[in-house]
Structure 1
């Protein structure tokens, strides 16, 4: 059979080999004389130690020279390469001493950077593979994207400068000083990701590093915090941090923020922000507050139930929520709904919000839902991932819940008012993971019977459920809007 691919020009073959793992690209050199020297045309290198096949378990656990030798030989073959655009390195185990291993890895990185490197991705997922990054690697006039993940040690440097860097990702332990130094060294930075980072020398920023940068357009912050299931431990930890998170990013367009709630947020008005994804978590369970009619604030400013002044609701997200009020798309986690209810006063009006996406589970309530929907005067698309949620006495008329609580027997009956869904301008309702259980059916009935402006309802059926049964169940529900059509996905 005719070998069509070998007849392609060298430059085309080099582009093709750049799209496959470097191990595969290097193996093509044994095909024929035609392929022997094509590796020098590869401009994207990806070295992943997890792809190495070790002869025995001992070498796989303790490391082997096999991977290191392969990287050394490959880089030697590329000494005549005109340019290397992308260099990715995933190191699984150490084969030498810490000092020797760091020197070798730094040499690999430097070899790539000398070729005008544009993108650098470093991964060291396993403890014991710690590599100390040399200062010379943190100065590049060509680098556009940098990702540092895992056990790479970044220490204090005198000179750090990335004048062309537009994307920076930290998924590693990092000192606060080095973080600030890196931020100041990237004048045109547009994307910043801080995921699972720890700032051991700076409690002040444990709730999500301060972000003060004029050019950042996309910001992702996911911060790890201790799992404090004991109330008093959580209270002590909160008192010791008293964190205030600062965000000053006037060019920000997209925000993805996941963290526990902290004392306060100092956030400038994010007028350029278009989309926000929030996963905010309370420090403790809200079970003490589910059925209380009144709250009060103690002398520290914490929200407390009237019958038990010991539990507190920590944190205040009022400033953060107010700063994102001009967005058009908002995604909220189940925890964020409770945070909005307990830690945001007052609720701002989202005058530009068109798309609201809400994730739900049976451990978190919908107490804030009526107020949230009333605060979105031009909302067009409402998306739910799941309809099952925790039943409380505060879900309001956005919910079909019927909580049975003895404390309600003697409570004053609330005056009837028009359901908040009647004034909700939503035209498209999307629901995923719909299983057709009793609570889901009642909630669906409530939506279809009260949303006057509905035009389209899209229902994604849970894969474990009988699709035809769910279809018949949904289609039998009464619909208030005469224009509404239902689609089962």
Structure 2
């Protein structure tokens, strides 16, 4: 009986279907995909089958080399549909004629996802009515506003829009937004907020909204949100605005990350507008709210106080009083105004009936922190998990705290205490 052995020199990768090779090469930056042309004659033009064109100026030796490469890629591209066209030029000034040509070429190839970072941008006429675009990201990499789009937009399939501009959103961003009739996700970043104009968002299809203003003059304007299908809302930076929530019936997740809050009454009104949320994350807000009892969050299941949020223990328990259905509490490295523990006069309903998970990160081992955690252990009757991350850096201290918590009375017989620190890595009991 003779056995014929199959040759071990078969190049299985090269013999894969072009459709599969195209998918593989499209997963990497286009510059690296193009380098496969040196493998063999068979591979010389395989990279031109890519459906993703992803080019960043940084790996190239000079801006002109990068521009020449973009020209070559678009000239040789063999696909009839570009899934992703990403050009990242940071704050470098590319000739407007070049950028216009590249975007026009991508549109002629039925681009679906367009991601452009630039210092100068002039859009081709074909862009304003592009029917294939479903996702768009535009970032102005300079502190000089150059966009002034006069032509009305009509992007009938655009669902995701991420736009970062320097200032004056009414000149560009809002014109673009109004031309997206099926928009579902919007991220708008305004580098410098100095106008008094009201911002009005009436987008019935919108599900996800993120608004960011890193720098803001002390100007109080109005932000009107009429977004009946909104699921998640993220707000960060510095805002000097009165938020008017006209229609928020579907709101699930809210995240606020403020570098500064200059007007407490505006912040209070903002919190009142999102009381229907199921998840709330508060981060880095330099604001003191002396009384949180006026707030009611009847649907809230998940609450986070993240790094730098100024707190006191009274405020935390007032907040818990307003969240009768709360199940998860996450506290990360709080900035305590008064690191002094005072036991609350009454026990919030959620601690008795609903709270199942507590995570306390970056515990410094202060006496007030330990008293808070002991109180929660002794009163949370349905608690399943208490996770504590220590940040003292002292092995002996962390070991002592570990032993102390294991001896604490637990109101819930099913509660598991998990520890993370230098002395014991990760442990649970």
Is this a same-fold pair by TM over 0.5? yes
| CA displacement, residues 447-476 of structure 1 (integer Å, 9 cap, x when unaligned) | 223333323212234494536454324323
- CA distance in 2 between counterparts of 1:185 and 1:434 reads 49
1:135 Cα offset (Å):
4.5
**RMSD of Structure 2 on Structure 1 (CA):** 2.8
- CA distance in 2 between counterparts of 1:368 and 1:66 reads 57
Contact 2:292 2:318 in 1 (8 A): no
Contact 1:348 1:375 in 2 (8 A): yes
Contact 2:362 2:390 in 1 (8 A): yes
- Structure 2 equivalent of residue 378 of structure 1: 325
Is 2:427 the counterpart of 1:427?
no
- Structure 2 equivalent of residue 105 of structure 1: 99
- CA distance in 1 between counterparts of 2:367 and 2:342 reads 19
1:250 Cα offset (Å):
0.5
Contact 1:367 1:392 in 2 (8 A): no
- Structure 2 equivalent of residue 171 of structure 1: 164
In structure 2, do the counterparts of structure 1 residues 473 and 107 end up closer, same or farther at CA, with 3 Å as the change threshold? farther
In structure 2, do the counterparts of structure 1 residues 474 and 210 end up closer, same or farther at CA, with 3 Å as the change threshold? farther
| CA displacement, residues 404-450 of structure 1 (integer Å, 9 cap, x when unaligned) | xxxxxxxxxxxxx4344765731221222234344432332232233
SS of the residue corresponding to residue 357 of structure 1 reads strand
| TM-score normalised by the chain length of structure 1 | 0.75
| Structure 2 unmatched ranges of 5 or more | 1-8, 420-425
1:113 Cα offset (Å):
1.1
1:143 Cα offset (Å):
0.3
Is 2:52 the counterpart of 1:40?
no
Contact 1:331 1:357 in 2 (8 A): yes
| CA displacement, residues 234-286 of structure 1 (integer Å, 9 cap, x when unaligned) | xxx53xx22222111101001111244535321114110111112246545xx
1:133-144 equivalences in 2 (<5 Å): 133-144=123-134
Is 2:13 the counterpart of 1:5?
yes
- Structure 1 equivalent of residue 4 of structure 2: none
| TM-score normalised by the chain length of structure 2 | 0.85
Contact 1:326 1:350 in 2 (8 A): yes
In structure 2, which of residues 176, 186, 191 is the aligned counterpart of residue 192 of structure 1?
186
- CA distance in 1 between counterparts of 2:48 and 2:308 reads 53
More divergent stretch after superposition (383-392 vs 372-381):
383-392
In structure 2, do the counterparts of structure 1 residues 145 and 130 end up closer, same or farther at CA, with 3 Å as the change threshold? same
| CA displacement, residues 207-230 of structure 1 (integer Å, 9 cap, x when unaligned) | xx432211100001111225xxxx
- CA distance in 2 between counterparts of 1:15 and 1:252 reads 34
| Structure 1 unmatched ranges of 5 or more | 55-62, 227-236, 285-312, 399-416
Contact 1:370 1:397 in 2 (8 A): no
- Structure 2 equivalent of residue 91 of structure 1: 89
Number of aligned residues: 405
- Structure 2 equivalent of residue 320 of structure 1: 270
More divergent stretch after superposition (344-353 vs 263-272):
344-353
